[in-house]
Amino acid sequence: MENTNCIICNNNKFNLYATFNIYNKKFTLVDCLECRFIYLNPRIKEIDISKFYGNNYQPFQNKISFTNILYSLFRKINFLFKYRIINKYVNEGKTLDIGSGDNFFSNSMKSKGWKSYSYDKFYNSISNTKSLSSLNSNSFKCITLWHSIEHMYDINDVFKNINNLLNEDGYLFIACPNLNSSEVDILNENWIAYDIPRHLYHFSFKTMDKFLRKHNIKIVDIRNLKMDTLYNVFMSKNINILKKIYVYLRSMLIQFFDKKKSSTIIYVCKLK
């Protein structure tokens, strides 16, 4: 385990936010006293984290089971939602997916006729780009981070690269779980998107805005991924089905009126 400073303000003073007992280990989320960012501290060292992306990690399961078939169906529908959002802002040029995992998104973009690049530090052998610094400056009209930002040990380096790679007319799309989503108030520590110890950071709209400003990036719009509410609520443990149905309907209603309370926020961003 290692201690870390806040990735936004570099402060090392914090309050305890929540405690979890997972894999017979105690993990704590802390609340930065300077900027109120919530993050995992201490955390598993990067060199050891691959043990936690084993056979039980949903995005990398390839067995045939009901949950996996459902997950794969979710991914296909989510791709269409993401694609529709991207197309509202940008519809030509090169695209780069960072934290691309098994290349599902990148390959789907290729099938839609885009020149598509993928980069993943953990799954580098699968990505078609081996390092972000090897790519040409200002060359991407579209950069995407789908549920990858919360896993990145080198998040500030990645964003320095994004700042260099994104074209001045280009758009950056970031999707990540929202700590301020309405379902967290009810699900508490059962909220599946805490995903400890893999999720290192728990952004809200406010803390994401602070983090992006630091990298000279501005949020121009926010969207939500409604399918993620279904996944987050129904995959949460220790909650009975009637309560899940109630939490799901409540969450859908609240995020309809206030996107900053969505389960997953998609931040649509540009360079400042």
Residues that bind Zn ion (CB under 5 A): 6, 8-9, 11, 32, 34-35, 37
Q: 9 or 239, CB closer to Zn ion?
A: 9
CB of 200 to Zn ion, least distance (A): 14
CA distance 154 to 151: 9
Picking from 267, 173, 174, 186, the residue whose alpha carbon sits closest to that of residue 232 is: 186
Which helix (H) or strand (E) segment holds residue 189: the answer is: none
**Surface-to-core class of residue 95, CB atoms within 10 Å of its CB (0-12 exposed, 13-18 middle, 19+ buried):** buried
CB of 128 to Zn ion, least distance (A): 35
Residue with tokens 């580098």: 124
The DSSP 8-state label assigned to residue 61 in this structure reads: -
Q: 37 or 191, CB closer to Zn ion?
A: 37
The DSSP 8-state label assigned to residue 215 in this structure reads: T
Token digits of residue 241: 């089905």
Q: What are phi and psi of 176, to 5 degrees?
A: -155, 160
Q: 35 or 135, CB closer to Zn ion?
A: 35
CB of 176 to Zn ion, least distance (A): 17
CB of 41 to Zn ion, least distance (A): 11
Token digits of residue 57: 């990690």
Q: 6 or 172, CB closer to Zn ion?
A: 6
CB of 9 to Zn ion, least distance (A): 3
Q: 217 or 268, CB closer to Zn ion?
A: 217
Of the CA atoms within 13 Å of residue 257, those in its CB half-sphere come to 5
| Buried b or exposed e, range 211-246, using 16+ CB within 10 angstroms | bbeebebebeebbbbbbbbbbbbebbeebeeeebee
Q: 11 or 21, CB closer to Zn ion?
A: 11
CB of 71 to Zn ion, least distance (A): 34
Q: 142 or 149, CB closer to Zn ion?
A: 149
CB of 37 to Zn ion, least distance (A): 5
